[in-house]
A and B are shown apart, each in its own frame.
Chain A
Amino acid sequence: MKLIFEKSIPGRGQDIFPACDVPVVLPKEDKLRKTTVHLPEISENEMGRHYTALAKRAHGVNDGFYPLGSCTMKHNPRINEKMANLPGFAKLHPLQPAHTVEGANELIADLEKFLCEITGMAGVTFQPAAGAHGEFTGLLLIKAYHHDRGDADRTEILVPDAAHGTNPASATMAGYKTVVIKSNENGTVDLDDLKAHLGPKTAGLMLTNPNTVGLFDPNIMEITRLVHEAGGLCYYDGANLNAVIGIVRPADIGFDVIHMNLHKTFSTPHGGGGPGSGPCAFKDFLAPFAPGLVCKDGEYVRAEKSIGNMTGFYGNFLVMVKAYTYLLTIGKDVHTIAENAVLNANYMQEKLKDIYPIAFDTTCMHEFVIGLDPIYRKTHVSALDVAKALLDYGIHPPTIYFPLIVHEALMIEPTETETKETLDEAIKAFREIYDRIFNAPESVQLAPQTTPVLRLDDTKAAREPHLRYEF
């Protein structure tokens, strides 16, 4: 399909702005732009059709099943959107006087209380704009804490080999050296390897629990105890919180700081990649280091040893409105989210495990991982091929080639908002694809066939980078 620039005709356009009602005055000539700007010249009708055509070439949660592992693609309730669009929130200037934004600050304070109760933590900062930003924030809190105690020689962050890629990348941004901890044969943290790497240089451990293969670490209490004994702090990557919300509180199992993804666990939409919101919750001894301004009794105040600011203002406020709306709806029944999420994942796992190799065949949490390697070795049909084949069934593929500890991984997270029928249909699709792998492997390798474009050449895109339209 054409780019919007290719639909542009000189002289066309839309009249948005009125004539100037004051004398036209610009900065002096030598300050002015000389080059022309190429922007589309297009009528509202043509523009509307362009974006409608683009929308038809996109796949959202409302278009069909979206079991993208680690991303928690649950339903995004409509009421959330309605509330976030209220002018009483959407039209607030961030630098309005505090007494004119009491409702907004009350909402933030209430949401903080809810999230503290859910995580067991003492405080929350809403500064981070996304999950990875929350990780970075949490690690800076850990760093500030150690430095404040004169313990600045702690330079290492331990990260399991199954961790999200953001964990080591965040550690680097926080100035830490990443030390990789091996997983054991059960897919959870290898305690001996952990012990071998703990020491006076340990600043902390980053852990997702359940981890990225969907398993709850049975040794979690011992893991956090060992890290604390070595003088480190424990960071909980809350990307997988949906599995245990209302059932396990990260603070109760020894974690000191956590980020949550409001755009995963708390039902706010992903918007094709963002905006998210990654609030970071912490125990009280980390509160003095929290970033950003917080409204207390009508005054904006900053924590005494604050690390600074992660974003310009108060974080992604309208995303917070959506998450707050969600929590008001669910209330104390949040545990039902985890229950149905875990049930749906186990149901799918159980119904597929006779044919697809499950990476760690045990009760999973909110997601499970197929390791397609044995099938790939026999048939040369890869995880990528299976993912592409699912597209022709109207199903968004699972996360693939992650976690790295499983070869040819397909990571499936159905979420709690899917019905049994949807799961059954997906199971049927997976089973049909399995038959095709052995009976007509090329049909899987050539998939998809029904999408607006066929398989795209990633290598060409990277080798001959073409990142913009040339006029």
Chain B
Amino acid sequence: MGTFIPNTKEEQLQMLNEIGYKDFDDLFKVIPDEAKVKGELNLPEGLSEIEVDRKVQALANKNVIFRSIFRGAGAYNHYVPSAVDAIANKEEFLTAYTPYQAEISQGILQSIFEYQTMIAEITGMDIANASMYDGASAAAEACWMCKDRRHSTIYVSGAIDERILRVINTYSFGRESKVVVIPAKNGVTDAEALKAALADDPAASCFLMQYPNFYGVVEDAEELCKITKEAGAKFIMYVQPLSLGVLKTPGEIGADIAVGEGQPLGLGLEFGGPYLGFLSTRQENMRQIPGRLIGETVDTRGDRGFVLTIQAREQHIRREKASSNICSNEAWCALRAGIYLSTIGPKGFEQVATLCSSKAHYMAAELDKIGMKLAYDGEFWNEFVTTCPDADKLNAALEAKGILGGLKICDGNVLWCCTELNSKEDIDEVVAIAKEVF
């Protein structure tokens, strides 16, 4: 019933006849009969817009929207300023393709150039690419960037999100690289184990840590960086971008590559996607960068303009020798991140990071008062793990009040997350419910 095909049946027939075909069967006779679908596909009748609207809304209404969210673990409930949606939804941005034709794509190209600059700035690195699929796949690509003829083993911290590790492992199944997990001890990477492992392995290519790590702990990244570099391997940091409003940057720490999930930068929770992988690095790694890069140049009048550049790395030029197969990326999500960072500015960037940290520390202290103790003693930013007598029971009680509690992880502990959206009252309410439950 519904259609977006403008031509009427009569117009179609007229066009067919005009170019020498009787009808559509005649046009499609280039396809062998044995290849064609016999009869109708088993799909529902098409619907009018109003019917579609009702049907999809009904599905949306079956889902629960929590009024208060204390769960992070890779997806963060940050505020999205009104300007982000208003601007990003402009159709010129939304309905354009990859900016292959630079002369009519300056808007897209410049927005990504600005985004690349902002990602380099917040991570303290020299340069950033135009975006990756999500944080986990960006991490996997970053590991691949470090591989050369003599160095292929990928080391990762056992304190990273298992979802990131899973994607790294999956990519490595393809590329046949060995992935070694350095165990976590007391919520942080076991530095001695890392040192020992790297010392024994001349083929070590890189070590990847998460910062803050999966348990929320801000590890001693400088120490891990030193160990990694002394062993001749590259140091990769997977960072929560908003934490860098207060935390020491990968650039300051000495990382070779910074990657992460850009979802906190103006993207909603979205049931896991689309999100935004970001990747930034040192100038000297420029030609190993996967994905698109936007560069500045001039036009024939000498006016500044922007183009897709250093494309000799990419699949459409180098084919099987490309640094990655990435073609479509997450440009529109990168646009959102650019608008987000422009909206909040340097002051807001520090402010939001401070709010997240303060709320989390307040909540941790309040939970401590009722016996839910911090599971690890390391420094944290906006996520932390506490003990919990019965995480399932607590989360059920919270859910009944429209609150999404922390994530139950190993040993029945709970990984909590606070953002600027969690008010003191919200936090007090969770603590009060917990007190009531136990």
Contacts and interface: CB of A to CB of B under 8 A. Distances in A.
A27 B381 contact: yes
Contact of A170 (B169, B325, B339): B325
A77 B71 contact: no
Contacts of A455: 103, 299-300
A23 B262 CA distance: 28
Contacts of A129: 133-134, 137, 273-274, 328, 330
Contacts of A351: 19
Contact of B77 (A16, A93, A175, A456): A93
Contacts of A160: none
A235 to B, nearest CB: 13
Contacts of A331: 1-2, 43-47
Given A39-B345, A103-B61, A455-B299, A52 B90 contact: yes
A356 B170 CA distance: 47
B299 A140 contact: no
Interface string A89-118: 111111111001111101100000010011
B343 interface: yes
Given A61-B95, A317-B272, A468-B127, A448 B295 contact: no
Nearest to B60: A88
B41 to A, nearest CB: 5
Given A51-B87, A275-B332, A453-B303, A252 B35 contact: yes
Contacts of A183: none
Nearest to B248: A33
Interface in A406-437: 416-420
Interface in A214-260: 215-216, 218, 220-221, 244, 246-249, 252-253
Nearest to A400: B100
B257 to A, nearest CB: 15
A347 B357 contact: no
A17 interface: yes
Chain A's interface size range is 35 or more
Given A103-B63, A252-B37, A271-B331, A175 B104 contact: no
B135 to A, nearest CB: 6
A140 B170 contact: yes
A419 B318 CA distance: 37
Nearest to B177: A175
B93 interface: yes
B273 A103 contact: no
A327 interface: yes
Contact of A468 (B1, B128, B321): B128
Contact of A166 (B247, B315, B346, B349): B315
B186 interface: no
Nearest to A135: B325
B107 A55 contact: yes
Contact of B249 (A5, A33, A63, A172): A33
Interface in A290-335: 291, 307-319, 321, 324-325, 327-335
Contacts of B361: 22-23, 25
Contacts of B256: none
Contacts of A397: 101
B15 A420 contact: yes
Given A60-B95, A175-B174, A74 B133 contact: no
A196 interface: no
Given A92-B63, A174-B174, A247-B31, A169 B309 contact: no
B286 to A, nearest CB: 6
B208 to A, nearest CB: 15
A457 B348 contact: no
Interface stretch (B51-59, B195-203, B229-237, B369-377): B51-59
B45 to A, nearest CB: 5
Nearest to B287: A465
Nearest to A63: B92
B276 to A, nearest CB: 8
Interface string B67-101: 00101011101010101001101111111111111
Contacts of A42: 342, 345
A275 B330 CA distance: 4
Nearest to A404: B319
A311 B137 contact: yes
Contacts, number: 687
A44 interface: yes
B105 A77 contact: no
Contacts of B307: 456, 458, 461
B213 interface: no
A101 B64 contact: yes
B122 A37 contact: yes
Contacts of A309: 136, 163, 166-167, 170
B62 interface: yes
A21 interface: yes
Contacts of A28: 379
B31 A33 contact: no
A72 to B, nearest CB: 10
A355 interface: no
Contacts of A452: 103-104, 106
A132 B292 CA distance: 14
B93 A92 contact: no
Nearest to B212: A27
Nearest to A54: B107
A39 B27 contact: no
B159 interface: no
Contacts of B133: 129-130, 133, 274-275, 311
A466 B116 CA distance: 11
A27 to B, nearest CB: 4
B120 A44 contact: no
Nearest to B118: A39
Contacts of B181: none
A32 B246 contact: yes
A282 interface: no
16 contacts: A5-B117, A22-B424, A27-B246, A37-B121, A37-B122, A39-B344, A44-B343, A60-B93, A81-B89, A81-B94, A86-B57, A88-B61, A93-B66, A95-B73, A169-B324, A462-B295
Lowest 5 CB-CB distances: which A-B pairs, in order? Answer: A313-B272, A271-B332, A88-B60, A331-B46, A103-B62
Given A467-B296, A468-B126, 12 more contacts: A4-B342, A13-B347, A58-B93, A83-B56, A88-B61, A89-B63, A269-B332, A271-B333, A310-B137, A318-B274, A337-B5, A461-B309
